[in-house]
Chain A
Amino acid sequence: MSKPTPLYLYSDHQKIMRVLLLTGGLAYLIWWFLVELTLPNAFNPLGSRLVVCALFFSSYLASRRFEWARTHVAKLYYMSGWALTLHYFYLFYNNPTDSNWIVGAYITVVALCACINDSEMFIAYIVYVVALSLGICMLDPALLKTVFLSGMLTILAFAYFGMRSRVRLVAKIIAEEQNNEKNRALLEVSEQALRLRNEFISVASHELKTPLTTIKIQTQMAHRSFQKGDPDAFSPERTTKTIELIERQADRLKDLIDSMLDISRITLGKVEMKFIPCNLTTLLEEVVASLTETLKMSGCPVQLTVARDVTIEGDSLRLEQVVVNLLTNAMKYAEGKPIRIILDADERNAVLVVEDEGMGIAPENLERIFEKFERVVSTKNISGFGLGLFVSRYIVEAHQGTISVESEVGKGSRFIVRLPKTRRIL
C-alpha cells in the first residue's frame, strides 16, 4: 500500500507564512491592547478586551494541547464567540463610528478561529468579516484604513489558524494511517506465521504418520499370519524383509524428529558445531554412496564431478546434512531428470553446486525457499517438512559461507554453496 504524502505539512513556504502571520497578528494585538486601551470613548475597554485576549490565548492553547478541548471546549468558545459578536453588534448599534467594536469583533473571530477545523465554518467567517468591513466603510469612509487593516489581519489570522488546524488534522490522519499500516503489516506477519505453523503441523503429521502406517501394516500382517498359522509368513526371507522395512521406517521417523529438533535448537540458538579440518571431497563421495539406493529409486541419474582433496575448516556432520538436504530436494523436484553435483575450490573458498533439470522455482519464490516451513510447491504435492533449506542456510552461514539459488521455471535449479576454507575469527 502507498503512503499518503503530507503535501503541505512541512514546506518552507508554509513555515514562512506561519511565522509572518503569527508575528504580525501578535504585534497588532499588543498595539491594539496598549494604545486603544486609552481611548476615552471605548465601551468598558479593559474588561472586554481582557476577556477577548484571554479567550484568544486559552482557545489557542486548548486547541493545541488537548483532543478533548478540541471537541468540547471549542464548542463553548464558539458559543461565547457568538455572544461577544452580539455584544459588539450592540456597541455598533449605539455608536457606529466607534472603532472599539470593530477591533473587538475581529479579535473575537480570531479567537474562534483557533477552535475551528471545519472548512465551511472557515468560509462563513471570512464572508462575515468582509461584509462587516464593507458595512463600516459605507457608514464612515474615515474608518476605511482601520477597517481594511483589521479585515486583512483577520483574514490572515483565519488563514493561519485555518491552515494550522488543517495541517494538524492531516498530520493526525497521516499518523493514524501510518499506525494502521504498521498494525496491518504486523497482522500480516502474524497471519503468515500462523498459516505456516498450521501448514507445518499438517505436513508434520503426514510425514510422521506415513512411516507409522507402514510399520502398522507390517505388524498387523504378522499378527494376521500368526493367527492364520501361515507357515510361509515367518520364513527367514520374509522376516528379514519385514524387519528391514520396519527399520527403515524407524530411521525415517528418527530423521524427521531430528529435523524438528534442529529447528528448535536453531530457534533457541543452541546448535553446537565443531570446526575441524574436513575433507569435502570424501564427504561428498560418501554421502552420494550412502544415497545410492534412494537415488536409484528416484530415477534421477547422478553425475558427480569433484576436485581432489578439497579441505575446509568445518563440522563434517553438519556439512553432510547440507549435502543430504540439497540432494534430497533435487531428487524430489528433478522428476527423474539428471542431477549434477560439482565440487570445486579456489584459494579461499570451496564451491559446491547441486543442479537439476526439474520443475524450477518461480522468481518470486527464490528468496522465501530458505525460510522456515517454506516449500516451492503446494504441501499437497511434495512431502517433507520444508525445513531442509532453512537448516542448510543456517549451517552454511555458521561456517561463514553463503548459499544461493539460480533457477528457471521448467528448466531446473542450481544451488550454489560457498564455504571459506578457513574461518575468520570474529
Chain B
Amino acid sequence: MSTKSVMIVDDDVDLHESLKSFLVSEGFDVSSAFDGTEAEELLATCELPGQHLPDVILLDLMMPKMNGWELLSKLKKKSTLSKTHVVLLSAASDPKEIPPHPHVKFLAKPFDLGNLLGAMG
C-alpha cells in the first residue's frame, strides 16, 4: 500500500507543526505551505511530470496573502479537486457557507484527531 500524501496549508506555525508531527506519526507523507500563494506554487510543482498531487489538502480558511476561500476556488477552476480531497479547517466560519462538493469537507477547530483522520478518508 502506497503512503498517503497530505499538504498542510496553515499560517499558524505551532498548529502547523503539531499537525505535521501527528500526521507523520500516523505514516503520512506531509508537505507544508504557510499561505495560499505558497500552496498554489507548491501544487503547480506537483503537477509537473513525475510528480503527483497530494491525496488530501488540509486547508485553513483565514490566511495572509491568499486565504483558503480563494485557493479553494482556484483549485475548483483548475479541476485539481477531481484528483485531490480538501479538508477545510476553520475556527470561525460557518460550514453552511461552504458550497457542497463531494471532495470538500469541513472541520471546525478545535477538532478531534480521530475526526481529522475520518475526514481525510
Say whether B65 contacts A209, CB under 8 Å. no
Contacts of A380 in B (CB 8 A): 61-62, 67-69
Say whether B64 contacts A335, CB under 8 Å. yes
For the complex, is A379 an interface residue (Cβ under 8 Å from B)? Answer: yes
Say whether A217 contacts B61, CB under 8 Å. no
Listed stretches B8-16, B41-49, B79-87, B98-106; interface member = B8-16
User: How far does the Cβ of B73 sit from chain A's closest Cβ, in whole Å?
Assistant: 13
For the complex, is B74 an interface residue (Cβ under 8 Å from A)? Answer: no
Say whether A381 contacts B18, CB under 8 Å. no
Residues of A238-271 contacting chain B, CB below 8 A: 245, 248-249
Say whether A381 contacts B62, CB under 8 Å. yes
Number of A-B contacts (CB under 8 A): 75
Residues of B73-119 contacting chain A, CB below 8 A: 90-92, 109-113
Say whether B14 contacts A382, CB under 8 Å. no
Total interface residues in chain B, CB < 8 Å: 27
Q: A206-B62, A213-B91, A332-B64 are in contact. Are A221 and B25 (CB under 8 A)?
A: yes
For the complex, is A281 an interface residue (Cβ under 8 Å from B)? Answer: no
- In the complex, A205 Cα to B110 Cα: how many Å? 11
Residues of A22-43 contacting chain B, CB below 8 A: none
Chain A positions near chain B (C-beta within 8 angstroms): 202-203, 205-218, 220-221, 224-225, 245, 248-249, 297, 332, 335, 378-383
Chain B positions near chain A (C-beta within 8 angstroms): 11-15, 17-19, 21-22, 25, 61-65, 67-69, 90-92, 109-113
The 24 sampled A-B contact pairs (Cβ below 8 Å) are A205-B91, A205-B92, A210-B12, A210-B109, A212-B109, A212-B110, A213-B15, A213-B91, A213-B111, A214-B12, A214-B14, A214-B15, A214-B18, A220-B112, A221-B22, A221-B25, A221-B113, A248-B14, A249-B14, A379-B62, A380-B62, A380-B68, A381-B65, A383-B12
